[in-house]
Every structure is written in structure tokens, then in C-alpha cells.
């Protein structure tokens, strides 16, 4: 079995750390990663706590694939109650932290309480220290990582920047400079605990039952299933490829989702990014190397990913790729979620142009665009208002109909009016508007399924949510389009017991329903599974989606069908029968 | 007459690593599925086709002068 069997529990208030046994019963039912971290939070958090209080917990959770040569197994789940939405929140961060944590001897770290003064956590096998972060507090994540590397040597670090310190609802956690646990304010949870960084180094390994057989099996799978046409877009282009996919299907967020195509898309598409490419980069045990390390002019960054090109590019009317690269680098250093910040800046631009409130910035204004990350992260000038997110900005100034958020989390780069399944995905995602729970655009807007019908969408979204729940709990990266059968084959080897696809699908359903149960306990119901009015009332005007919107009655049909198939009542509450069936 | 065929991402491997190629159409209308078959691109490797920047499909016909983009499958988000 490829668990270490150990969880490190750190209380920042008392300064004590204990190694405790992994709950094996929970690990069997929830695997690891997303599922197991949500299970621990569901059992250990009282309903109604303030996510920025010491009562919240931050959980770093690996999976049974972590640290092995399973392809695409390098990611880590980080979970807590979300400061942005009040829902359950699990994020996924790539790089090398997860395997290093496992080599140090831990499946998970649970961080509780709040330190009296800024600290960082250092884990080196059995040595666990809380070190003063007084000199680091106030610094960006990049400088923080450099200083820790100079102090501790060859460690893997994750850190927060000023955004997390200032408790922004869109603060993220950064690792290896350019990897993020991005959404929902996970960085603010760390900031609220006075925890500046976590550094880890491990001298151990993972004990494999038959390394020769396992290596041969993984190499075969890598050749036949990972490095195939289906997945090699990640190597050839990375996510910037999606700019052209969205442009040609009319779902590219443009000027705060006022339109679905951007006239200057060729300045920010994959070909444009390739002209700036210096190197490809990969996470631990990944042959796809989706990351692009780029340089243009004086700016360089690992990125920009599609979401940044869309939300901080076309959505802000910005076509200057060098400016987007610099904006990305600033957000990475300050630790700001680029999806949320791109939405915030686009919203501020529309409010200014419409005369609702003057935030001093209009679409396409590069000079003020580049000032935004600093102002927002520091809550300075217009940043004082903007740092609260689009829902709060709209409550204060107006424009609720085009504040593009669900449950308080800003919308990712796919306009639901051109992909009705994405509308349902956003409305029913556990952490607010999210494209990582289900990404049905891949087979609908970008495939054969009619994007402009409510038919069949509920089943499509549910299938993806459940499969992704397993995927992010076993831990496989999103970008490997592997089947549940393949996951079962690999997990059977790792866990040394026979698992089939049907059992995994059940586990996925259980995980997704547990996330929903957490939210139910916090008071969430159908009224919160809603979309911004713009999507229901305003048509898009150019390209493939000219004249299209998502009629509210069709959204309600999809949502009703979704609840029915999920075994939830008309208010989106899980039935007792379903809870019993899933052992919840 | 000819069309410009753009093979995005890994699909350029089906044209000797050229991502942009010219396909002569003569004076005929040609169905896109025929062009794709001739290059040996499996339909399962294709997400969707664009003709002159707009989504289309393999059933569509071209006669020359169009820019046709063949997009690979993309997982994740």
C-alpha cells in the first residue's frame, strides 16, 4: 500500500506537532487528495465557523499515487472552509511539494489554530519546526522562497504573499514561484493563521510491492495512454491552445463577458505565446510538461495559462501579451488568483465606462491594468474596494446583473451562453463558479454535443463531477484524460487489492455528495446554485454565438434534472436514501 | 484552387510535423472527412473543425480559398 500511514497535525497556537495514524477506514472510502481532505474537514469543523478564524483548518493531502512513477501524479490537494464563499474548498497545486511531503513520511498535514506571530513551518522527516517569519512577512512569495532556500537549502516551499497576509478572498498559495493553489481564498486561510510558508524535505521513499512489474506497467501505460494525441496538446501548446478554441466557438470572455469573441485574439493565442517560449516545464512524474516558461521584453513567467490569457486579456480588453505576462508575474508574486482578479478588473472597467462608479480604469488601459495587482493585494487606493471581489463590489456600487460570480467565486473563462453545460457546471460546483469539477465544454462546445440545448447536460455534468472527484482524490492530474478503468487498474496495483471502475465511480459520487453535505450544513441550497443575470438576459453579439444566451427556463430545467439524477430534492438537498446508499 | 489546412497541437505529426499545409482542391468541392482520412488523422483525435474561424464539422465541404483548422482533443481546463 502506498500510504505512509501518518498524518502530521500541527497546532500553531500551542506550537505543538504530533504524528498520528491516517484514518484507514476514511482512506478506503475517500482515497486521498480532494475526498479525504473534505472528509477530515467535515468531521472536524463545526458548522458556521468564520473561515478566517483560528477554528478553520488547512489540510494538505496527498493520494496513493503520490511519490510514485504513476504518470501525472505530482499534484497536492489543499483544503479548508472558503473565505470567499463559505463553502467547502479544495484546491490542487502542481510541482514537487506533494511527493516531497510523502518522502518526509506523511500522507497529510493538518494545520490548526493561529500563531501569535508570523511563522513558517519546516518539515524534515521527523523534525518539525515553527520558525519565525517576522523578516518574511510583507514580502512577495518569490522573495520569500528565495530567502527560505538560502536558509534551508534544497527544500520545496509553498508561501503566501501580501494578498494572503491581507486576508483577500482571492488570495492563493504559491509554490516553486509559479505554481498556485488558486481559488476561493485558500491563501487567506494561511494568512489568518499567521503562517507565511511551509518548507519540506524528505529522505524517504515509497515502498512498492514489486517495483519491476510496476515500472514495466507504468512505462507501457505512459506510452499507450498518456503520451497520445488526446493528451499531447499539453506538451505541444499547453492551455494557451484554448484561446483559439473559445474564440472559434464564441465563448471567449471579452470585456467583462459582454461578448464571446475578441478581435485581437491572435495577439494572445497559443502561437503568440510560443513566440515567447524559453522552456517547457513539468511537475513530478509528468511526461506532458504543460507549463510554458516565457519571456517577452523585460517580463518573464511560467505561464500564462488560458484562464489568465482570457480573464486578464480579452476579458479586460488587453491584447498586449507582454503586459499580460507581467500582470501574471505580479499576481504570482503577490499570490492573487488570476481568474478572480481578471474578473474584478474587467468588472471595474465596465462600471467605470458605464458611469456606475469610477475606478479609474477602462477596457484596454494597459498602464492602469499593470497597477491593479499591487493596489488589490495591498488594499490600496481603488484596491480597497476591489480586494473584496465582484459580489461585494456590486453590493456596494451596483451592476449585480453583470457581476460574474456564483456563490461569491468569480467565473472562469467559458461563457455559459455558448456552452449551456458550463452554466450547469458553474451553478452546481461545490466551491462556487468552477471549471475544474466538470469541464463539459471539452465534449460539447468543443465537440459533437449541441451547446444550445438543456437535454442530456445534467447527466454529462454529473458524470464528470464524479469522475473528477475520484481523479483528484487518487491524485491524477486533470490533463491526463484517463478512463475510470485505467484509474482502477493503477489503484489496484498501488493499494494491493482489486478495485474496479464501478467502485471508483461510487467513491466519486460519495465524495461529491459529501462536499454538498458540508455546504448544506452551512445553509447552501438551490437559491445559491444560480448564475448572473447577464447570462440569462443579454445576448452575445459576434461570431459563432451571435444572438445566443442561456434562457433561465432552460437553466432551471437542467438544474431540476441534475437534482433528480443526483437523488436530491427540488431544493437541492440530499435525500436520506442517497445518504444511506453512500454511507454518508 | 487550394485550402489552407492548419493542424493544431500534436496533430501536425500527421503532416510530417508541418502545422500549416496547402491542400489543392482543383475545381471540386471536397468533404473535410476525405481530407482528414487521407492524412490518416483518426476522427477520435479531433475535437472540432473550424472553417474561416467558425466552428464546423467533418461533414462540411470546401471548394478552395478557405482556412480550415483541425483541433485536437483537450482534457482538463
ipTM for the assembly:
0.93
Interface residues of B toward A, Cβ cutoff 8 Å, are 8-12, 42, 45, 47-48, 50, 53-55, 57, 69, 71-77
Task: Determine the pLDDT at residue A532.
Answer: 98
**Pair (A383, A490) in one structural domain:** no
Residue A536 forms part of a structural domain: no
Residues B50, B70: Cα–Cα separation, whole Å: 7
DSSP-based three-state secondary structure for A60: strand
The C-alpha cell that represents B3 in the structure block: 485550402
C-alpha to C-alpha distance for A117 and A124, rounded to whole angstroms: 22
Looking at the structure, do residues A455 and A503 belong to the same domain, yes or no?
yes
A400 contact partners, CB below 8 Å, separation of at least 6 = A394, A532, A533
How far, in Å, CA of A559 to CA of B43, rounded?
A: 32
Low-confidence residues in chain A, pLDDT < 70: none
Report how far apart, in Å, the C-alpha atoms of A359 and of each of A253, A326, A399 are: 21, 21, 14
- A544 in any annotated domain: no
A152–B contact, CB cutoff 8 A: no
Q: Which CATH architecture has domain B2-72?
A: Roll (3.10)
Q: How close is the nearest chain A Cα to the Cα of B71, in Å? A: 8
Cβ proximity of A69 and A82 under 8 Å: no
Q: How big, in percent rounded to 5, are the helix, strand and coil portions of chain B?
A: 25, 40, 40
At A81, give phi and psi (nearest 5°): -85, 135
- Regarding pTM above 0.90, the answer is yes
Domain closes at, from A201, A222, A248: A201
State pLDDT tens for residues A91-124. Answer: 999 999 999 999 999 999 999 999 999 999 999 9
Question: Using CA atoms, how far apart are residues A195 and A120, in angstroms rounded to an integer?
Answer: 6
Which three three-digit cell numbers place residue A106?
A: 506523511
Whether residues A396 and A465 share a domain: the answer is no
Same domain? A425 vs A391: no
Contacts B69 to A, Cβ<8 Å? 244, 248
Are A232 and B9 in contact (CB < 8 Å)?
yes
Q: What is the pLDDT of residue B77?
A: 46
Judgement on whether residues A378 and A429 belong to the same structural domain of the protein:
no
Q: Is residue A362 part of a domain?
A: yes
Distance (Å) from the C-alpha of residue B39 to the closest C-alpha of chain A? 15
Residue contacts between A and B (CB atoms, under 8 Å):
85
Instruction: Determine, for residues A248 and B55 on separate chains, whether the beta-carbon distance falls below 8 Å.
Output: yes
Q: Is A448 within 8 Å of B57 when comparing Cβ atoms?
A: yes
Interatomic CA distance for residues A270 and A44, integer angstroms:
44
Domain edge (last residue) among A386, A404, A422: A404
Residue boundaries of the structural domains of chain B: 2-72
Judgement on whether residues A121 and A167 belong to the same structural domain of the protein: yes
In chain A, residues 410-429 whose CB comes closer than 8 Å to chain B: 412
Which CATH number fits the domain that encloses residue A275? 1.10.569.10
Chain B CB contacts of A231 under 8 Å are: 75
Residue with cell 465544454: A441
Number of domains in chain A: 3
Query: Which of A404, A424, A448 is the endpoint of a domain?
Result: A404
Report the sign of the C-alpha dihedral through residues A425, A429, A435, A440, in that order.
negative
Distance (Å) from the alpha carbon of B45 to chain A's nearest alpha carbon: 6
- Chain B residue at shortest CA distance from A238: B9
Tell me how close the Cα of A532 comes to any Cα of chain B, in angstroms. 21
- Cell 482489486 -> residue: A498
Answer whether B76 sits within 8 Å of A543, measured CB to CB. no
With cell 488558486, the residue in question is A182
Give the Cα separation of B56 and A250 in Å (integer): 12
CATH code of A492's domain:
1.10.599.10
Asked whether residue A220 is domain-assigned, the answer is: no
CA distance A428 to A449: 20
Which chain B residues contact residue A543 at CB under 8 A? Answer: 53-54
Residue A233 and residue B42: Cβ atoms within 8 Å? no
Given this model, what pLDDT does residue B76 score?
60
Nearest chain B Cα distance for residue A209, angstroms: 31
Minimum CA–CA partner of B12 in chain A: A236
Contact A479 B71 (CB under 8 A): no
Q: Kindly state whether A544 is in contact with chain B, defined as any CB-CB distance less than 8 angstroms.
A: yes
- Would you say residue A169 lies in a domain? yes
Instruction: Give the minimum alpha-carbon distance from A23 to chain B in angstroms, rounded to a whole number.
Output: 30
Residue A170 sits in the same domain as residue A289? no
A233/B73 touch (CB, cutoff 8 Å), yes or no = yes
Residues A352 and A469 in one domain: no
Gap between the Cα atoms of A108 and A105, Å rounded: 9
**Domain membership of residue A177 as a residue range:** 6-201
A360 in Cβ contact with A371 (< 8 Å): no
**CATH number of residue A190's parent domain:** 3.60.9.10
* B74: nearest CB among A241, A247, A477: A241
**Low-confidence spans in chain B with pLDDT less than 70:** 76-77
pLDDT digit string, tens, across residues A164-179: 999 999 999 999 999 9
**Domain-embedded: residue A354:** yes
Query: Taking CB atoms and an 8 Å limit, are B76 and A479 in contact across chains?
Result: yes
Q: Which of A231, A235, A478 sits opposite B77 (nearest CB)?
A: A478
Q: Do A138 and A271 lie in a common domain?
A: no
Q: Could you count the other beta carbons within 10 Å of the beta carbon of residue A289?
A: 14
Q: Which three cell numbers stand for residue A212?
A: 519491476
Q: A443, A295 in Cβ contact below 8 A?
A: no
Q: Count Cα neighbours of A214 within 13 Å in the Cβ-side half-sphere.
A: 20
Task: Find, in chain A, the residue whose alpha carbon is nearest to that of B70.
Answer: A245
> How many Å lie between the alpha carbon of A454 and the closest alpha carbon of chain B?
20
Asked whether residue A476 falls in the same domain as residue A510, the answer is yes
A437 and A364 in a common domain: no
Which string of DSSP letters, residue by residue, matches A213-240? HHHHHHHHHIIIIISSTTTTHHHHT-TT
Distances (CA, A) of A504 to A28, A74, A384, A483, A565: 11, 20, 45, 11, 18
Chain B partners of A479 at a C-beta cutoff of 8 Å? 75-76
d(CA A432, CA A420) in angstroms, rounded, equals 17
CA distance linking residue A307 with residue A305, whole number of Å: 6
Judge if A22 and A148 occupy the same domain.
yes
Amino acid at each position: 500500500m502506498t500510504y505512509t500511514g501518518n498524518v502530521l497535525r500541527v497546532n500553531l497556537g500551542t506550537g505543538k506537532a504530533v504524528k498520528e495514524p491516517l484514518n484507514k477506514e476514511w482512506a478506503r472510502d475517500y482515497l486521498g487528495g480532494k475526498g479525504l481532505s473534505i472528509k477530515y474537514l467535515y468531521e472536524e469543523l463545526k458548522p458556521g465557523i468564520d473561515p478566517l478564524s483560528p477554528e478553520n483548518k488547512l489540510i494538505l493531502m496527498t493520494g496513493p499515487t503520490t511519490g510514485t512513477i504513476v504518470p501525472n501524479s505530482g499534484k497536492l490537494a489543499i483544503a479548508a472552509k472558503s473565505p470567499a464563499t463559505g463553502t467547502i474548498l479544495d484546491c490542487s497545486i502542481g510541482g514537487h511539494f506533494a511527493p516531497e511531503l510523502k518522502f518526509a513520511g506523511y500522507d497529510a498535514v493538518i494545520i490548526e489554530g493561529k500563531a501569535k506571530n508570523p511563522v513558517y513551518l519546516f518539515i524534515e522527516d521527523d523534525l518539525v519546526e515553527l520558525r519565525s517569519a517576522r523578516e518574511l512577512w510583507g514580502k512577495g512569495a518569490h522573495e520569500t522562497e528565495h530567502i527560505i532556500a538560502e536558509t534551508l537549502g534544497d527544500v520545496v516551499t509553498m508561501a503566501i504573499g501580501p494578498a494572503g497576509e491581507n486576508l483577500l478572498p482571492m488570495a492563493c498559495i504559491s509554490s516553486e514561484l509559479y505554481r498556485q493553489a488558486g481559488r476561493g481564498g485558500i491563501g487567506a486561510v494561511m494568512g489568518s493563521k499567521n503562517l507565511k510558508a511551509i518548507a519540506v524535505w524528505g529522505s524517504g521513499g515509497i515502498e512498492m510491492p514489486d517495483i519491476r512489474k510496476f515500472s514495466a506497467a507504468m512505462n507501457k501505460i505512459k506510452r499507450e495512454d498518456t503520451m497520445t494525441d488526446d493528451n499531447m496538446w499539453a506538451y505541444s501548446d499547453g492551455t494557451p491552445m484554448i484561446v483559439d478554441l473559445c474564440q472559434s466557438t464564441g465563448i471567449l470572455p471579452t470585456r467583462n463577458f459582454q461578448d464571446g469573441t475578441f478581435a485581437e485574439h491572435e495577439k494572445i493565442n497559443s502561437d503568440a505565446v510560443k513566440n515567447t517560449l524559453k522552456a517547457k516545464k513539468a511537475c513530478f512524474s509528468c511526461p506532458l510538461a504543460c507549463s510554458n516558461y516565457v519571456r517577452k521584453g523585460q517580463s518573464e513567467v511560467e505561464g500564462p495559462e488560458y484562464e489568465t490569457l482570457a480573464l486578464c486579456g480579452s476579458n479586460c480588453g488587453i491584447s498586449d501579451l507582454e503586459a499580460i505576462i507581467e500582470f501574471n508575474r505580479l499576481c504570482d508574486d503577490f499570490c492573487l488568483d488570476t481568474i478572480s482578479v481578471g474578473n474584478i478588473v474587467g468588472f471595474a472597467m465596465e462600471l467605470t465606462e458605464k458611469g456606475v462608479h469610477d475606478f479609474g480604469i477602462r477596457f484596454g488601459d494597459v498602464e492602469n491594468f499593470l497597477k491593479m495587482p499591487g493596489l488589490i493585494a495591498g488594499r490600496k487606493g481603488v484596491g480597497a474596494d476591489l480586494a473584496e471581489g465582484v459580489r461585494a463590489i456590486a453590493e456596494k456600487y451596483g451592476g449585480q446583473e453583470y457581476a460574474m460570480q456564483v456563490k461569491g467565486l468569480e467565473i472562469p473563462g467559458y461563457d455559459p451562453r455558448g456552452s449551456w453545460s458550463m452554466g450547469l457546471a458553474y451553478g452546481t460546483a461545490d466551491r462556487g463558479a468552477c471549471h475544474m469539477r466538470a469541464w463539459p465544454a471539452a465534449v460539447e462546445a468543443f465537440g459533437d454535443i449541441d451547446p444550445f440545448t438543456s437535454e442530456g447536460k445534467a447527466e454529462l455534468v454529473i458524470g464528470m463531477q464524479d469522475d473528477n472527484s475520484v481523479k483528484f482524490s487518487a491524485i491524477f492530474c486533470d490533463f491526463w484524460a484517463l478512463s475510470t478503468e485505467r484509474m482502477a487498474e493503477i489503484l489496484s496495483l498501488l493499494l494491493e487489492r482489486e478495485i474496479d471502475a464501478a467502485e471508483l465511480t461510487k467513491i466519486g459520487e460519495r465524495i461529491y455528495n459529501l462536499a454538498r453535505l458540508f455546504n448544506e450544513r452551512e445553509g447552501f441550497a438551490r437559491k445559491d446554485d444560480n448564475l448572473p443575470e447577464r447570462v440569462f438576459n443579454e445576448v452575445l453579439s459576434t461570431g459563432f454565438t451571435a444572438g445566443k444566451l442561456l434562457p433561465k427556463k432552460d437553466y432551471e430545467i437542467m438544474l431540476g434534472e441534475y437534482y433528480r439524477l443526483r437523488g436530491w430534492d427540488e431544493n437541492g438537498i440530499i435525500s436520506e436514501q442517497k445518504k444511506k446508499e453512500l454511507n454518508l | 484552387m487550394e485550402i489552407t489546412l492548419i493542424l493544431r497541437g500534436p496533430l501536425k505529426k500527421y503532416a510530417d510535423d508541418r502545422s500549416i499545409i496547402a491542400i489543392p482542391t482543383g475545381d471540386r468541392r471536397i468533404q473535410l472527412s476525405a481530407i482528414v482520412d487521407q492524412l490518416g488523422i483518426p476522427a477520435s483525435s479531433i475535437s472540432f473543425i473550424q472553417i474561416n474561424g467558425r466552428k464546423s464539422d467533418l461533414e462540411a465541404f470546401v471548394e478552395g480559398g478557405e482556412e480550415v483548422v483541425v483541433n485536437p482533443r483537450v482534457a482538463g481546463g
